Copies of this chain bind each other. A is one copy, B any other.
Amino acid sequence: MRHKGSHRRSDLDEVLRGGFLCHLGVVVDGAPMVVPTVYGVDGDWLYVHGSVASRSLVQAPGAVVCVSVTQVDGLVLARSVFEHGVNYRSTMIYGVPRLVTEPEEKLRGLRALTEQSAPGQWEYVRRPSRKELAATALVAVGLGEASVKIASGPPDDGDGPDAGLGLWAGVLPVETRFGAPEADPLLPAGIEPPAHIAERAGRVLGR
């Protein structure tokens, strides 16, 4: 089976762990709008910054949004154009966004956002002041209505008539990795990246 659908929480968690960027879909003036934004997960909630989601919240309280998270694992290179495809893990999460107003949940949500891409960073840097916290719009979307799709494995036509063409077929893997940290040019000499950042260099996202 190249394609698998799932509603299991463990599959959802695996997809969400594998990245930090989602594509948030809202309806604005009747048209779809899809914006890339970072996300974080805490318990049964996915958190995103509210700048875009809140447009939808203001325009249409109670309107559903769609959050899509996708990790590409490889190109599926078959013997025919028709059988080409992509190996990926993705999730679509539907929910009515909830504006986070309670300061403690806001901190938890921002912590989740920060730790999603850079674990350890929340403890290392200066946390939001009361003023910054008030200036930050944060939105929560429940993880209850999420579906997961996973496509994996080699092309399907290895035992079909096209196998006789004598062409190479297989998968060209795709991997997203962190590189070596690049210091802010304004950083004074002698301040090295902390361990939780330095150790990420060369590592695949989410692992």
Query: Among residues 151 to 169 in chain A, which have CB atoms less than 8 Å away from a CB atom of chain B?
Result: 154-155, 158-159, 162-163, 165-169
Q: Does A54 contact B (CB under 8 A)?
A: no
Q: Does A104 contact B (CB under 8 A)?
A: no
Chain B residue nearest to A110 (CB atoms) is B81
Give Cα A124 to B200, complex, Å.
Answer: 38
Give Cα A183 to B94, complex, Å.
Answer: 37
- Take A27-B32, A168-B187, A170-B182 as given contacts and tell me if A128 and B80 are in contact as well, using a CB distance cutoff of 8 Å: yes
Contact partners of A205 in chain B: CB under 8 A? 174
Number of interface residues of A (CB under 8 A): 87
Task: State the oligomeric state as a number of copies.
Answer: 2
Q: Mark A178-207, 1 if CB is under 8 A from B, else 0.
A: 111111111100011110010011000100
Contact partners of A36 in chain B: CB under 8 A? 23, 68, 70, 88, 90
In the complex, are the beta carbons of B117 and A75 less than 8 A apart?
Answer: yes
- Take A32-B25, A125-B79, A194-B168 as given contacts and tell me if A158 and B173 are in contact as well, using a CB distance cutoff of 8 Å: no
In the complex, are the beta carbons of A177 and B179 less than 8 A apart?
Answer: no
In the complex, are the beta carbons of A168 and B192 less than 8 A apart?
Answer: yes
CB distance from A73 to the nearest CB of B (A): 10
Q: List 24 A-B contacts (CB under 8 A).
A: A21-B70, A21-B88, A23-B68, A23-B70, A25-B34, A26-B32, A27-B27, A27-B30, A31-B64, A36-B68, A36-B88, A74-B179, A75-B178, A77-B121, A79-B125, A81-B127, A84-B114, A166-B191, A168-B193, A170-B187, A171-B182, A173-B181, A174-B176, A174-B205
Q: Interface residues, chain A, CB within 8 Å of chain B?
A: 21, 23-27, 30-36, 38, 63-68, 70, 72, 74-75, 77-82, 84, 86, 88, 90, 92, 94, 110, 114, 117-118, 121-122, 124-129, 132, 136, 154-155, 158-159, 162-163, 165-187, 191-194, 197, 200-201, 205
Given contacts A34-B67, A169-B187, A173-B178, 5 further A-B contacts (CB under 8 A): A86-B117, A163-B186, A168-B194, A170-B183, A170-B187
